[in-house]
Amino acid sequence: MKTLVLLTTLAAGIGSAATIHDRNQNQQDRIRQGVFSGQLTRSETARLEREQRYNRRQTTIDRRDGGAFTAAERAQAQRRLNQSSRDIARLKHNGRVR
């Protein structure tokens, strides 16, 4: 049983670096879809793009500093992505249209 838990934990840790990249890509796709559908105004799109750029920059800095992406840095990156996801959803569904 302990081995199964350990393997699951390791697999989750190894895959999480790819998950952050995948989440960034998914959020970019959500923003792009909002632009094409007219759900996002220009200013909303600019705000979300700025936020995405900041997230990518911080993740790159975290990975570069110290040579490893620590659990704390990973958690912080996930929190940033969670906030970005909420912002995308809120701005896409606020009733403003282009």
Q: Does residue 27 belong to any structural domain of this protein?
A: yes
Residue 98 covered by a domain = no
> Is 34 a member of any domain?
yes
Position 97 in a domain: no
* Contact predicate 69/60, CB 8 Å: no
Residue with tokens 């600019």: 46
Q: Domain range for residue 39?
A: 2-92
Q: What does the CA dihedral 44, 21, 74, 49 come to, rounded to 10 degrees? A: -20
Overall pTM > 0.95: no
Number of domain units in the chain = 1
pLDDT in tens, 4-58: 555 555 555 555 556 898 999 999 999 999 999 999 999 999 999 999 999 999 9
